Amino acid sequence: MSKPVPPLNQDPRAREALAQAAAIMARLRAPDGCPWDLEQTFDTIKRHTLEETYEVFDAIERRNWPDLKDELGDLLLQVLFYAQMAADEGHFTIADVAENLNAKLIRRHPHIFPPKDGVATEATTPDAVLRNWEQIKQEEKRSKPAAESMLDDIPRSMPATLEAHKLGSKAAKVGFDWPDASGLFAKMDEELAELMVEVEAKHNDNVEAEFGDLMFTAMNLARHLNVDAESALRRSNVKFRARFLAMERIAGGREGLAQLPPEELEALWSQAKRAENKAGEKV
């Protein structure tokens, strides 16, 4: 027996708070509303959406729940903003957005919400759920006008690391992929050699192109190794911050650090790295 969809009125605070948030956004975009909000367009707030998404990631990684609560609110603001601008132009409303999401969640979870014919889909493992989800997505796409390329449904506006991952995954579905990670290590060496040739020749345009090829190969390597490239790089960024801070402390502050020659900076980096490794051994 499947569980019924819980009515929103089981949590009146959620219903009232979300309704109030939508009403506040509508007021801000009213003719006599906030000049800044009225001036914004879909294109002008795109960068804010990306920034807020990364701030959500940061709060999650730090397991800072008060910050996550705030950042999720900021991300929700982006959704409300887009929906209100769409409503202003007569495209759709926030209610349409929520109804569309609700229908999609129910449609893509037939193992929880059986379709009208009463036949529930078996899915007792996460892998089975994912297979069903992908199959239902493909059925939905078949009802839409055919795209020129199977890659057309991957947005070009998403972060480049994620776009590269999705492009590689999509191509792999028709067999256009490296059999395993070993071939990608060789490809990395090949792309690095091509980049070095262009750097030495001082062909700046070609340098950018070859560096992009190196990055694209690295993203595919991450995919084969089941590594989230964005999370991996953010982890390395955190590590760099910590080691650089240790260097500053050893040098007596940023002023002292700025006065050191390159060889001493490298020595401080090695010292910070050793201290980090030693601390890790104690843990």
pLDDT (0 to 100) of residue 34: 96
| Residue range(s) defining the domain that contains residue 260 | 230-282
Could you say which residues of the chain have pLDDT below 50? 1-3, 282-283
Written as six digits, the tokens of 76 are: 């929700």
Q: In 187-199, which positions are buried (b, 16+ CB within 10 angstroms) versus exposed (e)?
A: beeebeebbeebe
The verdict on residue 138 lying in a domain is no
pLDDT (0 to 100) of residue 283: 37
The verdict on residue 260 lying in a domain is yes
pLDDT (0 to 100) of residue 119: 59
Task: Give just the sign of the alpha carbon dihedral 236, 239, 243, 249.
Answer: positive
The verdict on residue 204 lying in a domain is yes
Task: Name the domain count of the chain.
Answer: 3
pLDDT (0 to 100) of residue 144: 67
Same domain? For 256 and 183 the reply is no
Burial class (CB in 10 A: 0-12, 13-18, 19+), 247: buried
pLDDT (0 to 100) of residue 279: 73
pLDDT (0 to 100) of residue 92: 97
Same domain? For 100 and 186 the reply is no
Q: Rounded CA gap, 53 and 73, in Å?
A: 11
Same domain? For 266 and 235 the reply is yes
Q: DSSP character for 91? A: S
The verdict on residue 114 lying in a domain is no
pLDDT (0 to 100) of residue 10: 67
Whole-structure pTM value: 0.57
Which SS3 state, helix, strand or coil, does residue 253 take?
A: coil
pLDDT (0 to 100) of residue 281: 60
The verdict on residue 20 lying in a domain is yes
Written as six digits, the tokens of 131 are: 């297979």
| pLDDT tens digits for range 74-96 | 999 999 999 999 999 999 999 99
CATH number, domain with residue 53:
1.10.287.1080
The verdict on residue 277 lying in a domain is yes
Q: DSSP character for 144? A: S
Q: Rounded CA gap, 192 and 162, in Å?
A: 21
The verdict on residue 40 lying in a domain is yes
| pLDDT tens digits for range 222-272 | 999 999 898 899 889 989 999 999 999 988 888 889 899 999 999 999 999
Same domain? For 221 and 235 the reply is no
The verdict on residue 12 lying in a domain is yes
